[in-house]
């Protein structure tokens, strides 16, 4: 059973950098796509971006200039950095696995839903 666990500071000052790590157990980061998603208190879900184990990334354009996602296969974890944070970045941050392709015969479908999630960690941006 794949398990994900977010870790990092729960309080970040405005204009500083938010840094979180997601440690994967029960599976290897050296496969699949891995993603970060956030949820401001009382609001909906926002996809931040994903990384493939090769290091290939794709980010939400709304955050692209401030986001970096990286992977450390030796420690079986991946990380999120978000620079120049403001109060609007206050949210529960989730890491999640993007489901692998569903393949039958010679056809594979990349449905790209999130099948395993961490518990989430609240990050508050405040001085």
Subset of residues 88 to 127 that bind other proteins, contact rule: CB under 8 A:
94, 96, 99, 109-115, 117-120
Which of 5, 19, 21, 58 is close enough to bind other proteins by CB under 8 A? 58
In terms of C-beta distances under 8 Å and separation of at least 24 residues, what long-range contacts does 59-66 make, across chains too? none
Distance of closest approach, residue 31 Cβ to other proteins, in angstroms: 19
Give the residue with the Cβ less far from other proteins, 15 or 45: 45
Give the residue with the Cβ less far from other proteins, 74 or 109: 109
Task: Provide the pairing of β-strand 102-104 with 46-52.
Answer: unpaired
Provide the 8-state DSSP code for 13.
-
Query: 10 Å Cβ neighbour count for 14?
Result: 12
């Amino acid at each position: 059973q794949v398990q994900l666990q977010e870790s990092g500071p729960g309080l970040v000052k405005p204009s500083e950098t938010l840094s979180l790590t997601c440690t994967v157990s029960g599976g290897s980061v050296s496969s699949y796509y891995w993603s970060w998603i956030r949820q401001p208190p009382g609001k909906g879900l926002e996809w931040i971006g994903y990384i493939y184990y090769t290091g290939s990334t794709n980010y939400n354009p709304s955050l692209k200039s401030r986001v970096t996602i990286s992977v450390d296969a030796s420690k079986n974890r991946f990380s999120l950095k978000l620079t120049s944070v403001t109060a609007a970045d206050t949210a529960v941050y989730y890491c999640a696995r993007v489901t692998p392709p569903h393949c039958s015969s010679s056809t594979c479908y990349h449905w790209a839903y999130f099948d395993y999630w961490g518990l989430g960690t609240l990050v508050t941006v405040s001085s």
